[in-house]
């Protein structure tokens, strides 16, 4: 008479499967978080119900009988298929989540206004944005639960999944006649002396037209840009960050020098999930478009 599957039989089959997979009652008990005696009783109950001998218990390690080998092959295939199907169903039903760490200025000035567009294209992926400019190691990023890190570096890295050069130029409010230099003293995701970013421009082109000898220092680029919009002086604008302010007219370029290479944006995927890969592809396209 064919045996119909029920909850009790399925549970006993799971215990038998664990013994066969682990190679013994003790390891199976550890995996199932029960006593060794409980495992032995469940397997004995299964053998009695099926009227089959599934294990040879004479040696130190129980061996599968021919019937046990056939049953183990069936349970392994069946349970693996169920596990794979459940994982696929959960991945389809549950929204993907990505924790993205990015420098504060880039996060506020460029990323945040665009994430709504990403959400409309990929409504099943939730992006948690962290404004963070620390040069963490991959191990530290994983420990912090970061799935993807976007960094701004003074030199082109060799270990990033994507690298994009960033260029800059002096910007100021319309109508500004003269103003002090406005510094971002923490431009890159690595320590740098105060004034290092402006020092690159000054070495290449000298002081921009309309700048005075005064200086004001900030620790984030968006503060320098806000100060420039208020007419307080001249900021060194990164193309990606000030593009929208040039478009809306709240900032203007001060001279005709070619934009100067200031650094490199670099993407570091920490997780290899499908959601992370989707966000990486989208970010690369958006950053290349500017």
* Domain chopping of the chain, boundaries: 7-93, 108-163+265-289, 164-263
Residue 271 CB burial class (10 angstroms; 0-12, 13-18, ≥19):
middle
Chain centroid to CA 95: how far? Answer: 15
DSSP conformational letter for 107? I
> If pLDDT is split at 50, 70 and 90, which confidence band does 88 have?
low
CA triplet 123, 127, 129: central angle to 5 degrees? 150
9 CB-near residues (< 8 Å, 6+ apart): 3, 46, 49
Residue 161 neighbours by CB distance under 10 Å: 12
Q: Is-same-fold flag (108-163+265-289; 164-263)?
A: yes
Tell me the C-alpha distance between 18 and 84, whole Å.
18
> If pLDDT is split at 50, 70 and 90, which confidence band does 195 have?
very high
Q: Which two tokens stand for residue 140?
A: 């530290």
The alpha carbons of the chain give a radius of gyration, in whole angstroms, of 31
Q: Which two tokens stand for residue 35?
A: 């006593």
* Strand 179-184 to 211-218 pairing: parallel
- What class, spelled out in words, does domain 108-163+265-289 have in CATH? alpha beta
Tell me the C-alpha distance between 39 and 62, whole Å.
13
> If pLDDT is split at 50, 70 and 90, which confidence band does 249 have?
very high
Chain centroid to CA 114: how far? Answer: 17
Tell me the C-alpha distance between 279 and 288, whole Å.
14
Q: Is 258 or 4 the better-scoring residue by pLDDT?
A: 258
* Strand 148-153 to 260-269 pairing: antiparallel
> If pLDDT is split at 50, 70 and 90, which confidence band does 263 have?
very high
> If pLDDT is split at 50, 70 and 90, which confidence band does 91 have?
low
Q: Is 47 or 1 the better-scoring residue by pLDDT?
A: 47
Q: Which two tokens stand for residue 55?
A: 């294990």
The whole-model pTM stands at 0.64
Question: Quick check: 290 pLDDT over 80?
Answer: no
> If pLDDT is split at 50, 70 and 90, which confidence band does 92 have?
low
Q: What's residue 1's pLDDT?
A: 43
Q: Which residue has the tokens 């599968």?
A: 64
Tell me the C-alpha distance between 217 and 259, whole Å.
22
Q: What is the pLDDT averaged over residues 266-282? A: 89
> What are the b/e assignments for 58-71, b being 16+ CB within 10 Å?
eeeebebeeebeeb
Q: What's residue 229's pLDDT?
A: 95
The domain made up of 7-93 is a member of CATH 1.10.10.10: yes
**Helices 274-289 and 112-121, interaxial angle, to 10°?**
130
Using the Cα atoms of residue 100, residue 103, residue 107 and residue 110 in order, give the sign of their dihedral. Answer: negative
Summary mean pLDDT of the chain: 87
Question: Quick check: 95 pLDDT over 80?
Answer: no
Q: What's residue 59's pLDDT?
A: 72
115 CB-near residues (< 8 Å, 6+ apart): 127, 129
Q: Is 273 or 235 the better-scoring residue by pLDDT?
A: 235
Residue 242 CB burial class (10 angstroms; 0-12, 13-18, ≥19):
buried
Q: Which two tokens stand for residue 39?
A: 């495992």
Residue 168 neighbours by CB distance under 10 Å: 24
CATH code, residues 164-263: 3.40.190.10
């Amino acid at each position: 008479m064919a045996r119909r599957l029920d909850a009790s039989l399925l549970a006993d089959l799971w215990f038998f499967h664990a013994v066969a997979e682990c190679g013994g009652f003790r390891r199976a008990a550890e995996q199932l978080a029960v006593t060794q005696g409980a495992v032995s009783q469940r397997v004995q109950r299964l053998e009695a119900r099926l009227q089959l001998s599934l294990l040879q218990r004479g040696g130190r390690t129980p061996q599968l009988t021919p019937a046990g080998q056939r049953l183990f092959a069936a349970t392994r295939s069946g349970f693996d298929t169920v596990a794979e199907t459940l994982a696929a169903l959960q991945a389809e039903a549950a929204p993907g989540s990505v924790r993205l760490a990015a420098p504060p200025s880039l996060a506020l000035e460029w990323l945040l206004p665009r994430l709504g567009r990403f959400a409309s294209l990929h409504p099943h992926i939730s992006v948690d944005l962290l404004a963070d400019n620390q040069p963490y190691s991959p191990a530290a990023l994983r420990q912090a639960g970061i799935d993807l890190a976007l960094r701004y570096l003074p030199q082109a890295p060799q270990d990033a999944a994507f690298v994009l050069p960033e260029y800059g130029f002096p910007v100021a409010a319309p109508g500004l006649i003269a103003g002090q230099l406005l510094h971002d003293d923490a431009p890159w995701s690595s320590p740098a002396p105060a004034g290092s970013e402006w020092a690159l421009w000054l070495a290449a082109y000298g002081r921009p037209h309309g700048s005075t000898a005064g200086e004001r220092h900030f620790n984030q680029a968006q503060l320098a840009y806000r100060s420039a919009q208020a007419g307080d002086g001249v900021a060194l604008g990164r193309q990606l960050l000030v593009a929208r302010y040039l478009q809306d007219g709240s900032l203007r370029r001060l001279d005709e020098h070619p934009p100067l290479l200031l650094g490199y944006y670099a993407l570091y995927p920490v997780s290899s999930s499908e959601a992370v890969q989707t966000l990486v592809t989208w970010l690369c396209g958006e950053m290349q478009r500017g």
